[in-house]
Amino acid sequence: MTSAAQETPVGGQGMDDFWGVVPAGGSGTRLWPVSRSSAPKFLQDMTGGGRSMLQATLDRLRPLTGDRLTVVTGAAHADRVREQLAGEALGGSLPGLGADGLVVEPSPRESMPAIGLAAAIIARHHPDAVIGSFAADHVVGDLDTFHACVTEAVAVARTGKLVTIGIEPTRPATGFGYIRLGEPLAVEGAPSAREVASFREKPERELAEQFLADGGYRWNAGMFVVRAQVLLDLLAREHPDMVEALTAIAAADDLAPMDELWPDITKIAIDHAVAEPAAAAGDVACVPGDFPWDDVGDFGSLGAVLGRVGAGRIVDGLVTTGAGEVIGQESSGFVMTTTGRTVVALGLEDVVVVDTPDAVLVTTRDRAQEVKQVVARLEELQRKDLT
């Protein structure tokens, strides 16, 4: 699966120490019925661009990393991920990553163990390597600006900082974490870098509105750039047992200790395990990212972000994607069809319609987050054919 993005790295020789790590997990239940437990959103083409979200993430990173890319996924999705990676040059030929550049977790343990294991494997062979962790299920626009921001982040990470890319807030979102910016940093090659004063997880709307009005806050997009060994050192401050286990797994070229050690590793996200305590100690920096971004948490946000990045079609007031024809009259919202059927929306405001071969979802943008509850109900009804 070769794409136009597989070209000479943007950073040239100056980025030869940079590795991309792509955690690919989660079930994406708020994007049902397109996202299913057997085929979550990162394995789906959610934007109509002809590539899954995972493949698009690799395409986006490859100009910076070349083949220095690895994907960390769970055992339940490993076969499907391998299918999508077939023909890709990944892994930088590192022992432990295998020929497919893939690390498979026996069970989900949140993001920190996944990213930490990739860091331990890379650090074992390249102690000075810088890694960048980028989720497999986000939508990013304006790739030139994205690449410039990551290049700045790498420059700051080489100084020993943990670096996050902070997105300019466009609304008082309550589903994202926030970064409070500190003083500017004087780092060559990173003119926009700032200290991070603190992190704040998913505030109430009133507080989010205050953050937006303040102007000194950025969305935490979960993009972290750091020297692999520095990440392990920061993690060891709070979770030394985890670092010991991850290092032991990485020390074996076949990752043989994984089955024995993995079940006892703490379930925790990188934000809580490393970013928040490191920020309190003054060890975190931020490079502001002024490019379109969304974590595509529901169909309402998918429709909005497709409109912003120019990936969707605008048809009669509706943002649309997929193979079918969409006709709208005095309507607004988002329509996605994967069946080729014609979908007509008449006199509906902020509607969400998702048409798949075995299920059709009709809701509103305001209620799109509640789709997760529908999936829970289907599970109660033992409708495994639909979940």
**pLDDT digit string, tens, across residues 285-337:** 999 999 989 888 899 888 887 877 666 788 888 999 888 899 999 999 999 99
| pLDDT at res. 5 | 38
| pLDDT at res. 13 | 44
| pLDDT at res. 3 | 38
Those residues whose C-beta lies under 8 Å from the C-beta of residue 123, and which sit 6 or more positions away, are 129, 228, 229, 232, 250
Q: φ and ψ at 335, to 5 degrees? A: -130, 130
Taking only Cα atoms into account, the Rg of the chain, rounded to an integer number of angstroms, comes to 21
Do 63 and 5 form a contact (C-beta atoms < 8 A)? yes
DSSP class of residue 169 equals P
Cα angle 57-135-17, degrees, rounded to a multiple of 5: 75
Do 338 and 32 form a contact (C-beta atoms < 8 A)? no
Q: How many Cα atoms sit within 13 Å of 6 on the Cβ side?
A: 12
pTM, two decimals, is 0.90
| pLDDT at res. 10 | 55
| pLDDT at res. 12 | 43
Do 32 and 76 form a contact (C-beta atoms < 8 A)? no
Q: What pairs with residue 15 in β-bridges?
A: none
Those residues whose C-beta lies under 8 Å from the C-beta of residue 270, and which sit 6 or more positions away, are 111, 112, 115, 133, 222, 224
Q: Which long-range contacts (CB under 8 A, 24 or more apart) does 321-328 make?
A: 321/46, 321/47, 321/48, 322/48, 322/355, 324/355
For the chain, residues with pLDDT lower than 50 are: 1-9, 11-13
pLDDT tens across 46-56, in order? Answer: 887 889 999 99
Structure token digits, residue 241: 């047992």
Q: How many Cα atoms sit within 13 Å of 149 on the Cβ side?
A: 29
Q: What pairs with residue 118 in β-bridges?
A: none
| pLDDT at res. 63 | 96
DSSP class of residue 349 equals S
Q: How far is CA 81 from the centre of its chain?
A: 15
Q: Of 302, 305, 329, 308, whose CA–CA distance to 318 is shortest?
A: 329
Cα–Cα distance for residue pair 273/269, rounded to 1 Å: 6
Structure token digits, residue 267: 């379930």
Q: Which long-range contacts (CB under 8 A, 24 or more apart) does 329-335 make?
A: 333/303, 333/364, 333/365, 334/299, 334/300, 334/302, 334/303, 334/304, 334/306, 334/365
| pLDDT at res. 276 | 94
How many CB atoms are located within 10 Å of the residue 156 CB?
A: 25
How many CB atoms are located within 10 Å of the residue 92 CB?
A: 19
Give the H/E segment covering residue 143.
helix 143-157
Cα–Cα distance for residue pair 218/178, rounded to 1 Å: 6
3-state secondary structure of 133: strand
Domains, in order of start, for the chain? 12-294 (3.90.550.10), 299-380 (no CATH)
Cα angle 248-249-252, degrees, rounded to a multiple of 5: 90
